[in-house]
């Protein structure tokens, strides 16, 4: 098995977690954890409340661990760009703040190159009239979110769901 991980931010981490679990379970997905990524390294004891203050620069993310022999990174990134609106800056639907930015945090150079290529593909084919705001950078910091956030929407049926988290089937032109 070739285990890899990639960290993705696209609005509320509950919605990302829910869709990735639904779409990728049984296809090479090993684990998902929601958490906070690439914020200010001087912030100690990162919590949801601190991240929501807007003063930490941390992004709400889903960290996917996967078997790259069964689930190619390109398939994950393709789904990522289809399940949120990557053209909004620091927001998804009603969720607004720096923690909701669209972001791809890579764990190696191959992922970094691939993420840039797929972003460019979506820019040309899906969003030719809008600029994709997704940031792409190496993962520096990942902190697991509190336990009650893990697998939240499966544990809390009817819990909050972001109206922008769904699988888009056609380009926004």
Q: What is the residue whose two structure tokens read 């922008």?
A: 164
Task: For residues 102 and 29, give the distance between their C-alpha atoms in angstroms, rounded to a whole number.
Answer: 21
Given the residues 6, 7, 8, 12, select the one marked as catalytic: 12
Which H helix or E strand runs over 79? helix 73-82
Which H helix or E strand runs over 13? helix 13-24
**Residue 12 annotated in active site:** yes
Q: Are strands 135-138 and 102-106 parallel, antiparallel or unpaired?
A: parallel
Asked whether 58 and 145 are in contact (CB, 8 A), the reply is no
Read off the DSSP letter of residue 94: T
Q: What is the DSSP string of 17-35?
A: HHHHHHHHTTTTEEEEEEE
Active site residue ranges: 12
């Amino acid at each position: 098995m070739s285990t890899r991980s990639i960290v993705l931010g696209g609005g509320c981490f509950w919605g990302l977690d829910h869709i990735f679990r639904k779409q990728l379970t049984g296809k090479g997905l090993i684990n998902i954890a929601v958490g906070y990524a690439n914020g200010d390294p001087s912030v100690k004891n990162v919590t949801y409340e601190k991240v929501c203050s807007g003063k930490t620069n941390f992004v709400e993310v889903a960290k996917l661990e996967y078997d790259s022999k069964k689930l190619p990174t390109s398939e994950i990134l393709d789904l990522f760009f289809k399940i949120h609106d990557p053209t909004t800056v620091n927001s998804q639907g009603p969720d607004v703040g720096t923690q909701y930015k669209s972001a791809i945090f890579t764990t190696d150079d191959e992922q970094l190159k691939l993420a840039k290529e797929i972003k460019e593909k979506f820019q040309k084919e899906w969003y030719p009239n809008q600029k994709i705001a997704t940031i792409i950078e190496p993962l520096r910091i990942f902190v697991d979110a509190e336990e009650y956030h893990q697998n939240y929407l499966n544990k809390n049926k009817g819990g909050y769901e972001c109206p922008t988290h769904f699988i888009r089937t056609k380009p926004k032109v």
